[in-house]
């Protein structure tokens, strides 16, 4: 029973960790959709620009990962989700062997107005891995599940009530510091973007075209203004 419960908690934590994306709304299970904008690049131009950005930014992100971490897999795998009808989205996760994976959907690549925006998004997502956000979210999820389950038990809840409390606690725990994680990734992503030779301030203009999450309680992302501010502050210190 305990083993099954912990597996369920871990599953919730991993799903929550996959929500650490730079553009997010409540649609499609946390995946975020950007507002449509008139593209300045053709499809072929966007594809070539993305390929150049990956070739340039990935080695920089890998170097930053090796300098800032110990015993962490820094071999990033950058892939494109070419399934039809996907939202404009990017996120970082881990494969079964623990290798960091950064996923871009085709609409996001097409929505980017320049290479700086693509570079910033890639820098942001690799920064999530370097900062260990998935592991930290998992830890927060487990802690939240234990606390909520304990409260349900103390108030006389039955087995179903305890399981529901564990699931809710895991979700709340995973979201507890998600806004801080996003700002951390924005700051480190700014450094990676700049070291790769791109303009992070111009890249962060992507935030001006996506829905603003505001400052919702237990929201996963901070207000867009706060994100642009941290990018400018970090860039000014470089």
Structurally, how many domains does the chain consist of? 1
70 part of a folded domain: yes
Q: How high is the pLDDT of residue 195?
A: 97
12 part of a folded domain: no
Model confidence at 194: pLDDT above 70: yes
22 part of a folded domain: no
Identify the weakest region by mean pLDDT among 13-22, 66-75, 120-129: 13-22
What domain range includes position 206? 43-236
pLDDT band for 177, please (50, 70, 90 cuts). Answer: very low
136 part of a folded domain: yes
33 part of a folded domain: no
Model confidence at 155: pLDDT above 90: no
Locate 10 and state its tokens.
């871990």
Angle at 129 between CA 222 and CA 21, to 5 degrees: 35
What mean pLDDT comes out for the span 167-191?
72
pLDDT band for 41, please (50, 70, 90 cuts). Answer: low
Q: How high is the pLDDT of residue 135?
A: 78
Strand partners, 101: 77, 93
101 part of a folded domain: yes
Model confidence at 141: pLDDT above 70: no
Q: Are strands 100-105 and 77-81 parallel, antiparallel or unpaired?
A: parallel
Q: How high is the pLDDT of residue 214?
A: 53
What mean pLDDT comes out for the span 170-194?
77
Q: How high is the pLDDT of residue 159?
A: 67
3-state secondary structure the chain: CHHHHHHHHHHHHHHHHCCCCCCCCCCCCCCCCCCCCCCCCCHHHHHHHHHHHHHHHHHHHHHHHHHHCCCCCCCCEEEEECCCCCCCCEEEEECCCCCEEEEEEHHHHHHCCCHHHHHHHHHHHHHHHHCCHHHHHHHHHHHHHHHHHHHHHHCCCCHHHHHHHHHHHHHHHHHCCHHHHHHHHHHHHHHHHHHCCCCHHHHHHHHHHCCCCCCCCCCCCCCHHHHHHHHHHHHHCC
157 part of a folded domain: yes
Identify the weakest region by mean pLDDT among 13-17, 155-159, 199-203: 13-17
77 part of a folded domain: yes
């Amino acid at each position: 029973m305990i083993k099954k419960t912990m597996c369920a908690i871990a599953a919730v934590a991993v799903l929550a960790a996959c929500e650490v994306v730079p553009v997010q709304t409540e649609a499609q299970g946390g995946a975020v959709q950007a507002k449509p904008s008139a593209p300045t690049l053709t499809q072929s131009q966007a594809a070539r620009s993305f390929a150049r950005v990956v070739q340039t930014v990935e080695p920089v992100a890998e170097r930053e990962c090796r300098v800032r971490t110990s015993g962490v897999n820094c071999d990033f795998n950058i892939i494109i989700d070419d399934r039809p009808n996907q939202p404009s989205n990017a996120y970082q996760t881990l494969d079964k062997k623990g290798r960091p994976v950064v996923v871009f959907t085709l609409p996001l690549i097409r929505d980017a107005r320049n290479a700086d925006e693509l570079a910033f998004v890639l820098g942001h997502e690799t920064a999530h891995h370097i900062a260990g956000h998935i592991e930290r979210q998992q830890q927060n999820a487990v802690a939240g599940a234990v606390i909520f389950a304990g409260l349900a038990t103390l108030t006389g809840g039955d087995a179903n009530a305890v399981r529901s409390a564990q699931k809710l606690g895991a979700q709340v725990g995973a979201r507890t510091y998600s806004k801080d994680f996003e700002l951390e990734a924005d700051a480190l992503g700014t450094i990676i973007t700049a070291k790769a030779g791109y303009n992070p301030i111009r890249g962060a203009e992507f935030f001006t075209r996506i829905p603003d999450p505001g400052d919702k309680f237990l929201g996963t992302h901070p207000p867009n203004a706060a994100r642009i501010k941290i990018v400018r502050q970090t860039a000014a210190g470089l």
